[in-house]
């Protein structure tokens, strides 16, 4: 046996052993046939489709609370991260396995009602992984109240991929502002180059109300760090600034906590403690290989987002007042 656990004399690689384990473990809990589990999805790291399936089997207890009862926007990578991918919202319920649920909902982007997959159980997530869904993008609202999200998301998106220190500074500004306003707030890596700031709402307010909160928060943060952050939608006008994307709260989706991302390194969208949000650490440290050790040590840091509530109206009044003060100080 070589150092990686493969039998060097037989020519069987460590990846082949891993693929066999992935297929065996996944089939143990699946009621649908898996296909092409040995297909390489990350060419550099040699992670396979089977590795994706095994990951979602193991992460399911942490991931599923963020998926249950929510419509899913599918992003399929049948040939891995370097191949072509396509988005799929509308599914044919007649073609789905019995354990996969779907729900008809109005899709703003399509302007019509479509049938969305609802990921209520582990087998559904593994079924989606078998379709090439490396990542999972649930609605922030539940199917029984589709117009009332459980949380607001402010997506801090750097204009350049190497500006993560700027993202950190902007995230700290958002955190300090929300703390000062006594608004509960949490964060996670996007799984790529950004950070998601989340405010729990408890499904009490409409998307239009939540969008207003997001817009005011983004404008106030941009006023605090104008050299680093912008609310400018047009990419060409952002320069090198971090984009404060509050438009995610208009029926768009973001990657779920613990979702893999189709990016180099097999990164995971990972909840953080605010004390970890500091210059130095990079999102590349949170991967398919490191997340389970972290979960063992810290548990699920984001679970309060699904339980807590915020007085949105009070937060909106406070932000509006602060923005008036900012405008007044500029006019003096």
pLDDT band at 281 (very low <50, low <70, confident <90, very high): confident
**Cα–Cα distances in Å, from 2 out to 16, 24, 47, 55?**
13, 22, 19, 24
Interatomic CA distance for residues 29 and 53, integer angstroms: 11
Run of H or E residues at 167: helix 164-180
**Cα–Cα distances in Å, from 185 out to 22, 63, 139, 199, 202?**
37, 20, 19, 5, 13
Place of tokens 């990951």: 55
| pLDDT at res. 280 | 77
Tell whether the model's pLDDT for residue 148 goes beyond 50: yes
| pLDDT at res. 285 | 94
pLDDT band at 110 (very low <50, low <70, confident <90, very high): confident
Neighbour order of strands in the sheet with 195-200: 229-230, 242-245, 151-158, 195-200, 186-189, 271-272
Average pLDDT, the chain: 90
pLDDT in tens, 216-274: 999 999 999 999 999 998 888 999 999 999 998 887 899 999 999 999 999 999 999 99
| pLDDT at res. 32 | 66
Run of H or E residues at 326: helix 312-331
Contact 77, 85 (CB under 8 A): yes
Q: Please report which residue ranges of 247-311 form alpha helices under DSSP H.
A: 291-298
Place of tokens 């499904």: 203
Least-confidence region, from 9-18, 44-53, 103-112, 161-170:
9-18
| pLDDT at res. 18 | 57
Least-confidence region, from 25-34, 179-188, 221-230:
25-34
> Residue 189 — φ and ψ, nearest 5°?
-70, 150
Tell whether the model's pLDDT for residue 162 goes beyond 80: no
150-176 b/e with 16+ CB inside 10 Å = b?
A: bbbbbbbbbbeeebbebbbbbbbbbbe
Contact 134, 260 (CB under 8 A): yes
Distance spanning both ends of the chain, measured CA to CA: 75
| pLDDT at res. 161 | 67
Contact 235, 189 (CB under 8 A): no
What mean pLDDT is predicted for residues 108-124?
91
Do β-strands 151-158 and 137-138 pair in parallel, antiparallel, or remain unpaired?
unpaired
Tell whether the model's pLDDT for residue 101 goes beyond 60: yes
Between 19 and 7, the more confident residue is: 19
Tell whether the model's pLDDT for residue 150 goes beyond 60: yes
Gyration radius of the chain's alpha carbons = 21
41-75 b/e with 16+ CB inside 10 Å = b?
A: bbeebebbbbbbbbbbbbbbebbbbbbbbbbbbbb
């Amino acid at each position: 046996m070589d150092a990686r656990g493969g039998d060097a004399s037989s020519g069987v690689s460590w990846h082949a052993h891993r693929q066999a384990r992935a297929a065996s473990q996944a089939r143990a809990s699946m009621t649908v046939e898996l296909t092409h589990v040995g297909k390489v999805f990350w060419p550099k790291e040699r992670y396979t489709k089977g590795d994706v399936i095994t990951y979602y089997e193991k992460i399911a207890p942490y991931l599923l609370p963020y998926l249950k009862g929510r419509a899913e926007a599918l992003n399929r990578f049948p040939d891995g991260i370097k191949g072509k991918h396509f988005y799929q919202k509308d599914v044919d319920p007649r073609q789905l396995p019995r354990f996969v649920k779907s729900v008809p909902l109005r899709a703003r982007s399509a302007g019509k009602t479509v049938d969305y997959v609802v990921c209520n159980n582990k087998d559904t997530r593994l079924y989606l992984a078998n379709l090439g869904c490396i990542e999972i993008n649930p609605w922030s609202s539940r199917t029984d109240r589709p117009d009332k999200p459980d949380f607001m998301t402010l997506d801090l998106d750097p204009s350049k991929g190497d500006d993560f220190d700027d993202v950190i500074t902007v995230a700290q500004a958002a955190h300090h502002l929300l703390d000062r306003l006594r608004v509960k707030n949490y964060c996670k890596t996007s799984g790529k180059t950004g950070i998601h700031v989340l405010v729990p709402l408890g499904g009490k307010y409409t998307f239009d109300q939540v969008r207003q909160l997001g817009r005011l928060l983004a404008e106030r943060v941009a006023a605090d760090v104008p050299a680093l952050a912008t609310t400018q939608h047009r990419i060409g006008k952002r320069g090198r600034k971090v984009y404060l994307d509050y438009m995610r709260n208009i029926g768009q989706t973001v990657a779920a906590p613990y979702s893999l991302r189709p990016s180099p390194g097999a990164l995971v969208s990972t909840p953080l403690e605010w004390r970890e949000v500091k210059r130095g650490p990079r999102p590349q440290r949170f991967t398919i290989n490191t997340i389970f050790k972290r979960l063992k040590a810290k548990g699920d840091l984001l679970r309060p987002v699904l339980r807590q509530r915020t007085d949105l109206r009070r937060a909106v009044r406070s932000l509006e007042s602060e923005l008036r003060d900012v405008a007044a100080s500029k006019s003096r």
